[in-house]
Amino acid sequence: MISVFGSANMDLVAYVDVAPALGETVTGRSFGTVPGGKGANQAVAAARAGAEVAFLGAVGDDAFGAELRRTLAGAGVDVTHLRTVRGPSGIAQIVVDGDGGNSIIVVPGANGTVTAPSEAEIEVISRSDMLLLQLELPVEAVTAAARAARAAGTIVVLTPAPVQPLPAELLEAVDVLVANEHEAAAITGQDDHERALEELRGTVGWVIITLGSRGALTASGDGPAVRVEAPRVTVVDTTAAGDTFVGALAVARVERQPADLAVRFATAAAGLSVQRAGASTSMPTRAEIDRSLSETGTGTEAGAGSEAGT
């Protein structure tokens, strides 16, 4: 089982030809509300990719909260321990330009009330094979969840976004770090992603830096860095591509796929997601990911390769 301790937001998405500069007003092409949040996105991505998933977090007692809960449950995610708190749910205001690029403002809402995992949530984490974490919850709560997972032998995967200083006690409990190139540069101070990878791998056992259309760079232990190419696709919307990558990666590792095939599996899933609009609405099913990989000649049999881990 994969548990996700993270955020749930309602995404308020405006599509424009060119994103406005400061002080500028532009006319948009369309607008929509889409359930999202990095935690919820990763949970949906993992569930659609074939895993048993439990989501741990909070929504408000508003209409957005009810819709977020329905969306997670509808994707097959266990929401037994999803908290409902008084006040608004988290929201993300997103602008998507004509090239599929985006800029995002997140207002935490209910997510900001999760200052520590509850005893029931720690029990779920302890029973899980893998825990997915992000930084849209208070960092002290993320750190506590990571430490609980480490104590139970649960593999911890961290997406360091939104980027911020990472406490040493959090990094010490992380097994897998998945950062995009901008996050990796901000954390390490290295603009060159290969140098950033080398610096990060000195702290975390397995590091993956996602590079958008250029694929991903990955290294674990003392092994060489490996570049995994991304499929060539027509990009519609890159929102939640990184979360799709992480959710699919987790599924592949829980299924004991070798690290290199797990990254290819995740890259294929992200490549499918960017061809569709929205966050949770863009995430592919397991059948779609397998079909994409079969078309490129990459096998993804469940149970193949080494045990899950780093």
**Amino acid identity, residue 78?**
D
Tokens 């829980």 correspond to what residue? 254
Residue 178 phi/psi, 5° resolution?
Answer: -120, 110
Coil vs helix vs strand at 157: strand
CA distance 81 to 118: 9
Q: Are 16 and 97 in contact (CB under 8 A)?
A: yes
Query: In degrees to the nearest 10, what's the CA dihedral of 165, 168, 174, 178?
Result: 30
Q: Are 51 and 129 in contact (CB under 8 A)?
A: no
Coil vs helix vs strand at 77: coil
How many residues in total does the chain contain?
A: 310
Q: How far apart are the first and last CA of the chain?
A: 17
Q: Are 215 and 260 in contact (CB under 8 A)?
A: no
**Residue 310: which H helix or E strand, with range?**
none
> For residue 23, what are the CA distances in angstroms to 26, 31, 206?
10, 20, 42
Q: Are strands 9-15 and 90-96 parallel, antiparallel or unpaired?
A: parallel
Q: Select which of 129, 243, 260, 290 is catalytic.
A: 243
243 is catalytic: yes
CA distance 172 to 294: 37
Q: Are 148 and 125 in contact (CB under 8 A)?
A: yes
Active site residues: 243
